[in-house]
Amino acid sequence: VQLVESGGGSVQAGGSLRLSCAASGYIYNWFWMGWFRQDPGKEREGVAAIATDSGSTYYADSVKGRFTISRDNAKKTLYLQMNSLKNEDTAMYFCAASSQSYIGNWYRPTRYNSWGQGTQVTVS
């Protein structure tokens, strides 16, 4: 599956952005999708994940109550609604897909098989 992120940009603290991740190719054996973020020199951090069938979700503690992950299977698109953005949310954001039916440690990048190129989010 190919993944292409969009929706990043610059926003003031307290503002909102919605990221999108469009999937192409055969997607029906991808059980989980997630959003990760990474600052230069830091490890890639799991932000949120969603089961593509049941819609079950996981969130990092740092974004709970502010970010919402969702998916539209008909459009083959993953979303991340980000509200009440903080300076520390600044990072490159990546979407990822996993073919593992049991995601386990959803926040570990190694659980995911396919990655997008990323979209930059800057909060000032």
pLDDT digits (tens, 9 = 90+) for 30-45: 899 999 999 988 999 9
> Where residue 112 falls among pLDDT bands split at 50, 70, 90?
very high
Contact 17, 90 (CB under 8 A): no
Q: What is the mean pLDDT of the chain?
A: 94
User: Radius of gyration of the chain from Cα atoms?
Assistant: 13
Predicted confidence at residue 100, as pLDDT, reads: 85
Closest listed residue to residue 108, CA positions, set 55, 58, 40, 53: 58
What is the average per-residue pLDDT within 106-116?
94
> Where residue 12 falls among pLDDT bands split at 50, 70, 90?
very high
What is the average per-residue pLDDT within 50-73?
94
pLDDT digits (tens, 9 = 90+) for 65-85: 999 999 998 899 999 999 999
Q: Tell me which amino acid residue 97 is.
A: A
Contact 95, 42 (CB under 8 A): no
> Where residue 23 falls among pLDDT bands split at 50, 70, 90?
very high
Contact 33, 22 (CB under 8 A): no
